[in-house]
Chains A and B, each alone.
Chain A
Amino acid sequence: MADNVLKVEHVTMQFGGVVAVNDLSMEVNKGEIVALIGPNGAGKTTAFNVITGVYAPTNGRVSFNGVPMIENHPQGKMKKNYLGEDPEGYPAKIVKTPDQITKLGIARTFQNIRLFKSLTVFDNVLIARHMRSKANVFSATFKVNAMEEKENREKTMELLKLVGLESSANEISSSLPYGKQRRLEIARALATQPTLLLLDEPAAGMNPQETDELSEFILQIKNQFDLTVLVIEHHMDLVMQISDRIYVLDFGKLIAQGTPEVIQNDPHVISAYLGVQDDE
């Protein structure tokens, strides 16, 4: 399939006895906005961290545009699980490290904002352009790459304008209000020139109006930069508004997938979110 950008196959992630993600398979197609939802502790962020190479999963494969990022190690032997049994399959092996994954074109934001706190807003975004720079350490030191540097600075300013932060370019990033920090993180992710954008709870802590603005903003950047978006979110309004398809996780397991309409009426999802009624 040419148009499936991200492919996650049978990913399992165990932390000791805890199975955070259990046999998760999902695909994201080009140009889609896909949401990954689930109650707290369902394993959404863990899945994100596996996709971006932060965690090596216990088992499974992940590939991006056909390039393997996590492979099952064909010769390796699985660690015994907490019951002392030999699990089936082979341990997963990280083929691409997080920085290589970013280079391939996956950018992400973090659930608990991870800005470069004591640097300015401008530098935060400018740093993200370092990876695409062709300069080596000598040419950068002696300013041989002045043209490139100038272009990077212009691009950075453009991105800051896009997220409405151009007036605070020289402020220290940690002094920004929460909502703006979220926007800055998105701008920084966009500066790496991604084709797939992963957003980890972008609307966390936002009021309904801000959430509305954010969903419009996500649609806008998706069109402008020709992105594919995978988003983890709790705000159902936002999810239902923007996503083409939804995957629902509960206790690490995929319990439902489909269009927003399908998910809204899925009995498993309803019971996972609202609990099962007693008189059923």
Chain B
Amino acid sequence: MVKKKIKLRDVILSILAAGVFCALLAYYQYDTGTSHSYAISILERSAIYAVVAVSMNLLNGFTGLFSLGQAGFMAIGAYTTGILTIPVNMRQSVYYMNGIAPWLENLHLPMIPALLLGGLFAAAAAALVGIPVLRLKSDYLAIATLGFAEIIRALLAAPMMNTITNGSFGLNNIPGFQNIFQPMAIAAVCIVLMILLINSSYGRAFKAIREDDIAAEAMGINLFRHKELAFVISSFFTGVGGGMLAIFMRSIDTKTFQVTLTYNILLIVVLGGIGSVTGSIIGSLLINGSQEWLRFLDEPTTVPVLSSLFKPGFRMVIYSILLMVVVLFWRRGIMGTNEFTWDGLFGLFRRKKKTKKAGGEA
């Protein structure tokens, strides 16, 4: 796209929106009158899922590589972060069954370096796996990466790894986030980095590969190198996201990283729009939020007809129906391949007003 001038109005609106959002976070964090832990946990989880969803979008939406290995890379990031951040004096109680490997016993890192290392390990695994796997296309790549994720999960739970990963007992006592700003800031940095990448010359090359790999190659783009690059970078951020999830959940085991986790992320990506970063962020908020907002459906009600319906479990029925409706009516996701713009938002209102006017006149 030819560069457009950034409007002053948009800058002001963005700063305002960010300010309001930060104020909201601060309110949730420091308002001691009522407990906001519920809202905080939804927002934190949304931020973490948004990082992973955007990184999956980088691969699936922008490079056109349909990979389903997210849970595996998240597991690598989560275990790395978890193992390294558990306080040293807690280790004996965490590893009380199997004992801890001696070299690991006093190895402790602060949160940020641990997250980075988790991302790097995930990226290294991706680099290795990518060499054979990225020769595959579409569904075959999805199956291969799905298999890889399961291998990682099995490896982490294997008895041979007991003194490192604590095997099937999982990890606990991982120190959580100190406040809501931490995960938000980390998520923001990750997503901004990915947006910068997508808008760079490399991002355009990724899109070219998605559009037509033969033409991309004829334009001098080394297919393997660029696919591998996208895979490694995406896995890095997936690993960081996994690490954040470990810090958020405070206790993890390999069951956390089953295929359903990947499917959840895929759901967010598809719902938000394959090829739209803001779509993934919105999708993450919606998916994580709606599961909670719909909770009233599980509670008994006195409304006559509904009382027979509103039972535990009904929430998931409605949730699934809503997903189907969204996919049926917004076939390309909420955002399609578009990004959020202020112009677009105002255009939406204007269009609605116009149609209302037209309807009134007729």
Secondary structure class of chain B's binding surface, majority of residues: helix
B317 within 8 Å of A (CB atoms): no
Question: Please, which residues of chain B bring their CB within 8 A of the CB of A108?
Answer: 218
Question: Please, which residues of chain A bring their CB within 8 A of the CB of B218?
Answer: 52, 98-99, 102, 107-108, 110, 114
A188 to B1, Cβ gap below 8 A?
Answer: no
A71 within 8 Å of B (CB atoms): no
Cβ distance B5 to chain A, nearest Cβ, rounded Å = 14
Query: Which of chain B's residues has its CB closest to A148's CB?
Result: B201
Known: A98-B217, A128-B219. A116 touches B207 (CB 8 A): yes
Known: A143-B196, A170-B1. A126 touches B204 (CB 8 A): yes
Of B43-51, B221-229, B245-253, B284-292, the one touching chain A = B221-229
Known: A99-B221, A130-B219, A192-B219. A118 touches B211 (CB 8 A): yes
B200 within 8 Å of A (CB atoms): yes
A114 to B215, Cβ gap below 8 A?
Answer: yes
Cβ distance B119 to chain A, nearest Cβ, rounded Å = 15
A67 within 8 Å of B (CB atoms): no
Cβ-neighbour of B201 out of A100, A118, A140 (below 8 A): A140
Cβ distance A198 to chain B, nearest Cβ, rounded Å = 10
Known: A99-B217, A115-B212, A120-B1. A149 touches B223 (CB 8 A): no
B53 within 8 Å of A (CB atoms): no
Residues in B221-239 with C-beta less than 8 Å from chain A? 221-223, 229, 233
B337 to A118, Cβ gap below 8 A?
Answer: yes
Question: Please, which residues of chain A bring their CB within 8 A of the CB of B215?
Answer: 110, 114-116
Question: Please, which residues of chain B bring their CB within 8 A of the CB of A114?
Answer: 212, 214-215, 218
Residues in A121-151 with C-beta less than 8 Å from chain B? 122-123, 126-133, 135, 137, 140-143, 145, 149
B1 to A143, Cβ gap below 8 A?
Answer: no
Cβ distance B230 to chain A, nearest Cβ, rounded Å = 10
Question: Please, which residues of chain A bring their CB within 8 A of the CB of B220?
Answer: 99, 102-103, 128, 130-132, 192
Residues in A94-111 with C-beta less than 8 Å from chain B? 97-100, 102-103, 107-108, 110
- The CA of A54 and the CA of B214, in the complex, are separated in Å by 8
Q: Which of A54, A107, A119, A145 lies at the interface centre, i.e. has the most chain B CB atoms within 10 A of its CB?
A: A119
- The CA of A116 and the CA of B215, in the complex, are separated in Å by 8
Known: A115-B215, A122-B1. A130 touches B222 (CB 8 A): no
B2 within 8 Å of A (CB atoms): yes
B197 within 8 Å of A (CB atoms): yes
Residues in A75-107 with C-beta less than 8 Å from chain B? 97-100, 102-103, 107
- The CA of A140 and the CA of B212, in the complex, are separated in Å by 22
- The CA of A126 and the CA of B204, in the complex, are separated in Å by 8
- The CA of A118 and the CA of B202, in the complex, are separated in Å by 17
Residues in B180-223 with C-beta less than 8 Å from chain A? 193, 196-197, 200-202, 204-205, 207-208, 211-212, 214-223
A153 within 8 Å of B (CB atoms): yes
Question: Please, which residues of chain A bring their CB within 8 A of the CB of B212?
Answer: 114-117
Cβ distance B134 to chain A, nearest Cβ, rounded Å = 15
A130 to B201, Cβ gap below 8 A?
Answer: yes
B196 to A119, Cβ gap below 8 A?
Answer: no
Question: Please, which residues of chain B bring their CB within 8 A of the CB of A169?
Answer: 2
- The CA of A252 and the CA of B202, in the complex, are separated in Å by 40
Cβ distance B135 to chain A, nearest Cβ, rounded Å = 13
Identify 30 residue pairs between A and B in the complex whose beta-carbon atoms are under 8 Å apart, listed by A's number. A97-B217, A97-B222, A102-B217, A102-B219, A102-B220, A103-B220, A114-B212, A114-B214, A114-B215, A117-B211, A119-B208, A119-B211, A122-B1, A123-B1, A123-B207, A127-B204, A127-B205, A127-B219, A129-B201, A131-B219, A131-B220, A135-B200, A135-B201, A137-B233, A141-B193, A141-B196, A149-B201, A153-B3, A170-B1, A170-B2
